[in-house]
Structure 1
Amino acid sequence: MVYPVTVVGAGPGSEKYILPLAWGVVEEADLLVGGESALSIFEAAGKEKIRIRGDLQGVLDHVAEARETKRVVVLLSGDPGFFSLLPLLRKRFGVENLRVIPGISSLQLGCARLGLNWHDMAVASVHGRGLEQLQQVCSAGKVAVLTDEHCTPAVVCRYFLEHGSHFSLVWVLTNLGRPGEEITLTGLKEGAEIDDRGNSIVILLREDACEGISCASEEKAAVEEPAVEGLAVEEEPFFEELVIKEVIEEAVVEELAIEEWRDVVTPGLANELFMRTRTPLSQEEVRALVLSKARLCRGMVVYDLGAGTGGWTVETARLIAPGRVYAVERDPAAAELARMNLKRFGLTNAYVVTGEAPDACAEFPRPDCVLVGGSGGRLQDIVQSAASWLGPGSRIVLSAVTPDTFSAAWGLLQGDSWEQLDAVLLQVSRVVSRGEARIFQGENPVFILQAVRREGSDS
């Protein structure tokens, strides 16, 4: 019996994005054929494997021979219908001998991350194809380009600059759906200076395309996932990255003011030093107390979960250098601002990932301390994971802006994994002018909790 060849879309490289039907087909397969990344997703299946390297004709010959006695599944990254080997397979075996199971393409995931529709987007791939592919999209309003190690995002941006293409916003998206996911908002000139980031997607929008996006704000608010603690998504502007450009142009922070803080060794940097949008920045007094409770030391590895626009990340990176901060933030706009703030302070010992904790921490080194500024509704998962990450005597410090979150955190830290539980409620009031008088104006109170990993306990 000669079996048909089943072609499976392996998505962007994470098992989370594999269709259930694809899992079932792989279970029934005798032989898996694919690139190293796609095959690694199904490593636990224990199947015979052939890795696709340079000899495509040899691989096809092997598939042709194997399908006479074996169920062969060819794994293609992303979706088989999107810049893949599917045309080559169709030509060799005929469409009647192929069974194709779709997958989530990197473009789909990238547009989902940015809240963009992609039905009207011009798409080109220079991955193994060369820059001449860009000629057909130079005049489009919305463009997506798949890059490689030779035609990098910087090379693509330089091409558009040299050909007079005027794109107002440029995103570079790398490692989508995988550990180390990175999303950078930039412009053409700045994008032309980005180092490496070879296998990425570059999404470019002209000014008129940007204006069209803002009309969809109500639709996005209706389908967006629950907001990070303390944020009301419906009250925020649609896709906050669109206003970052204005912030960069309008938020003037004197370099001299930052220089005054370079050698300061205590936490509590002035809020005015940070680049901000409407995404909240923690109060400087809260940061000072949180980081004091954390008992930070130089050389530590610290997780900053729910990093927001990078207040804790910046402060921690300064205090623990040459140690490293691994920050996780689910909102791409806030994560990008965190990266900008790190750059503003000249800090290179912090790594910001766009994603959700604790999943996004899978590839991080073990921490010496865990800071939790926002949980995205996964507080229990985060606290339980922290117990497995941290060694005895290491600390977790959490902040909460609502009594409900405080109560949940307090209860979770009562478990056998933790000891020396402590909590404070911090209320900051500032002197402000009201006409000719000066009064105290209260800020929102913040709960701060800390606990120490108990020795000899199970997580």
Structure 2
Amino acid sequence: MKKKLYIIGSGPGARELLTERALQVLKSCDRIYSTTHRHKTILSGMAANIEECRIQDIPSVLETSDGVNIGLLVSGDTGFFSVAGSLQQRLEGMADMEIVCGISSLQYFCAKEGISYEDIKTVSLHGRQGSIAGTISYNRKVFVLTGGDNKAHLICKSLMEAGMSHIKAVAGENLSMENERIVRGTVKELAGNTFEDLSVLLLENPDFINCHIPLYDRDFVRGEVPMTKEEIRAVTLSKLAVEPDDVVYDIGAGTGSVAIEMARKAYNGSVFAIEKNDAALELINRNREKLGAFNVTVVPGTAPGVFAGIPRPNKAFIGGSSGNMDKIVRELRVKNPQVDIVANTISLESLNDAVSTFEKHGLATEIVCINSAVAKKAGNYHMMIANNPVYVISGKSRQ
């Protein structure tokens, strides 16, 4: 007889939050396994003995189990950042499967706080790497599952370091249990606490930015540092094709105009603005704060020397190479052989340097020359004032 496997969402933890369907299934099972130790204590006496089982051992346990109806308890809801999805794929064909949903930590916590969760952006950093600076920059409310190296207080500290100390925060620890703890305050205030694994965070940014709204030259603090103009930025970003989760370098970032535009495209990712000029560094920081691009990290120094201290890039923009084009491209390709690169140049010598370097390092190269003009009022007339021609050189990794 083919075995029947029930993957059961156990909810946030308390036994009274198990659904009626989950209780019925548990009572019908010959064997019950759990991916976490706490189920053995919380649910003791409700069904057959619960055996703890590591996730990686579940296929072999299912194969050798003498039970016909087998229950597998997983935390939370089976459709909310759950192992249930991956287990379905791994166990396909080994048993008839039924997924039994549970109450998620999001549902429980938002009910506890008396708020709707229909407009909340959800993120899991439990056992994962990444930053939520971009997510909270471009969303009003963000719900975060924490744990491992990304405990709630450490996430709050990282947001403080990104300049977001003012963000409102609510942390929930041991939800639905006797030792449940809810702490409210700012990110700065919560960073002074210590939270256990499997805590959750609800973050609110009243000054969030709509990342889909374009930026104009007039939006930036300019100073005396040259800035890539909006028409050139539009073509450059189109060629670079920045995606939401990308890690991007802006090398020779100037005022930060390209970095901040890229940060809006990489709204779940990160942009590292590399610049050696002190006046430019000050402008990048001012524009970053003014335009709410807190997923831009300012990196003082010269490329490629600063690459060692920052994460591996998916994309890179070279606005200024300081004569180091060959070294920069070589080191970018060392950090990520699949990196895509776009460089902007004005002079023919720099164009030749970029093209020969890209081709030398095996990049599929495309060159576009942009000649743009902007209308300016002259009395009752409009005159077209030409901008300098700019070469946009794209270097795509050969897949």
TM tier relative to shorter chain: 0.3 to 0.5
TM-score for the superposition, normalised by structure 2: 0.48
Q: Which fold has the larger relative contact order, with Cα–Cα distance below 8 Å and residues 6 or more apart in sequence?
A: 2
Higher Cα Rg, which structure: 2
TM-score for the superposition, normalised by structure 1: 0.42
Higher helix share: 1
